[in-house]
Amino acid sequence: MKQKKTWQGHSATRRNSALFLFVFLGMLTAFGPFVTDMYLPSLPAMTQYFGTTASWVQLGLTFSMLGLAAGQILFGPLSDKYGRRLPLLISMGLFLAATLGCIFSPNIVCFVALRFVQGIAAAGGIVISRSIATDKFKGKNLAKALAIVGAINGIAPVAAPVLGGFLVGAAGWRGIFAVLFVIGLLLCAACIHFNESLSHAKRSKEKLLKTFRLFKPLFSNRKFIFYTLQMACAQGILFGYIAASPFIIQQHYGFSPLAFSFFFAANAVAIGVGAGFSVKFKRQENCVTCSCAGMLLFGILLALGLLANVSVWLFEGLLFALLFTMGLSFTASTTLAMDSARQQAGSASALLGASGFLAGSLVSPLVGLGNILLSTGITFILCAVLSALCAFWAQRSDTRPSTCLKQSI
């Protein structure tokens, strides 16, 4: 008997390997942060090229983050209605077009507008990657898949500027966007190879405009909402760190941009290790509790250290510990939030991802108010306190059996 072919041209019985899925999900997850952060070292060169001010060029970062938030709200429900593969292909095609437009932008206004489109397109990969993980895995395996997603989601925002710093010296700002275009091409090829993970039976039957009503039940899901807010507050620490660390390391402590890149790389390892270590916990709720307690403890110590003008090595040690404990949340909170909203996985993933970028857009300017050492410390403590409160409320609202893993810490 001949195998039936789906509209994608794939065998209806063919499945992607676990290795392919893990690599594919990792690439999709890293995509958004690379779009926002990779070109940061080229901002001065772009200011000169476009003959404009630094604030105009920085709007490219702001609008890409807004696009990443808005795009997840758009692609999440669409993926619940049309499956994961078609929205992914559309988002990748849109990204390639927007990236080419950025490379050949005639003026800064056009560039900023295209950055918004680029962010929307990249958001498709981020939101759908979590939905695919929820489609394909459960329990322990879901936690492992989201550990990979969480680790990359933590590493990518801090690793991207380091890679961009090397590229801008060799190829200029256009070279960075050319690399992003190549990454987009690779992801397009992977999307073509990807076999749909959401069956027609499980897709939303609502009409297109009514698809966005899938968000409504999520707002009455207290467990999902509080874990999403907890995750957003934890990411507030990440974006606050990204915004403040160049000034603290280079201006306050007097290190060169190259040395700063090594600090960035070390801290990326801390986040990744924390995200990966979370699967060692028997209960993911315990992991969130430990993460929040650690963020609060090291946030306070780091704030005191900045005020006391401690050595750079003590500062870096405390920062490493803070980012490690924050990394624990990237996996555990995502697992608990997504597991509580399986029926609306695409929409849930959209809200989860958008909340993080919105938190980043709010927190990033705060660390630059007044004395950056004082404002950074206060921001870390505030985010940690809010994160702990949201975790407490999430666990109080949980009436379902705990999400358990067979491994123990």
201 lies in some domain: no
**CA–CA dist 148, 164 (Å, integer):** 23
The string of pLDDT tens digits covering residues 257-280 is: 667 777 877 887 888 788 878 878
276 lies in some domain: yes
User: Is the per-residue pLDDT at 8 higher than 50?
Assistant: no
305 lies in some domain: yes
407 lies in some domain: no
Mean pLDDT, residues 49-56: 77
149 — pLDDT class (breaks 50, 70, 90) = low
Residue 158: per-residue pLDDT = 64
**CA–CA dist 308, 367 (Å, integer):** 18
pTM of the model: 0.67
Nearest Cα neighbor of 359 from 191, 199, 234 is 234
Q: Are 258 and 361 in contact (CB under 8 A)?
A: no
- H/E segment holding residue 158: helix 139-193
Mean pLDDT, residues 306-317: 91
Return the SS3 of 371. Answer: coil
E strand segments, 215-310: none
228 lies in some domain: yes
Structural domain of residue 178, as residue ranges? 18-196+208-396
4 lies in some domain: no
Tokens of 112: 């900023």
Q: Are 152 and 29 in contact (CB under 8 A)?
A: yes
**Environment class of 401 (CB within 10 Å of its CB; exposed 0-12, middle 13-18, buried 19+):** exposed
Residue 1: per-residue pLDDT = 45
**CA–CA dist 232, 219 (Å, integer):** 16
**Environment class of 32 (CB within 10 Å of its CB; exposed 0-12, middle 13-18, buried 19+):** buried
Q: Are 376 and 367 in contact (CB under 8 A)?
A: yes
Q: How many domains does the chain have?
A: 1
Q: Are 310 and 385 in contact (CB under 8 A)?
A: no
Q: Which residues pair with 283 in a beta bridge?
A: 404
CATH of the domain at 291: 1.20.1250.20
Nearest Cα neighbor of 156 from 134, 183, 133, 185 is 183
106 lies in some domain: yes
Tokens of 211: 């698809």
The string of pLDDT tens digits covering residues 199-246 is: 777 777 767 666 667 677 888 888 889 999 999 999 889 888 877 777
**CA–CA dist 305, 318 (Å, integer):** 9
5 lies in some domain: no
Average pLDDT, the chain: 80
Angle between helix axes 18-37 and 54-82 (nearest 10 degrees) is: 150
Which residue type does 295 have? M
Please report, for residues 65, 108, 179, 404, the alpha-carbon distance to residue 54 in angstroms, rounded to integers and kept in the order given.
17, 11, 23, 49
The string of pLDDT tens digits covering residues 116-136 is: 999 899 888 877 877 787 777
Radius of gyration of the chain (CA): 21
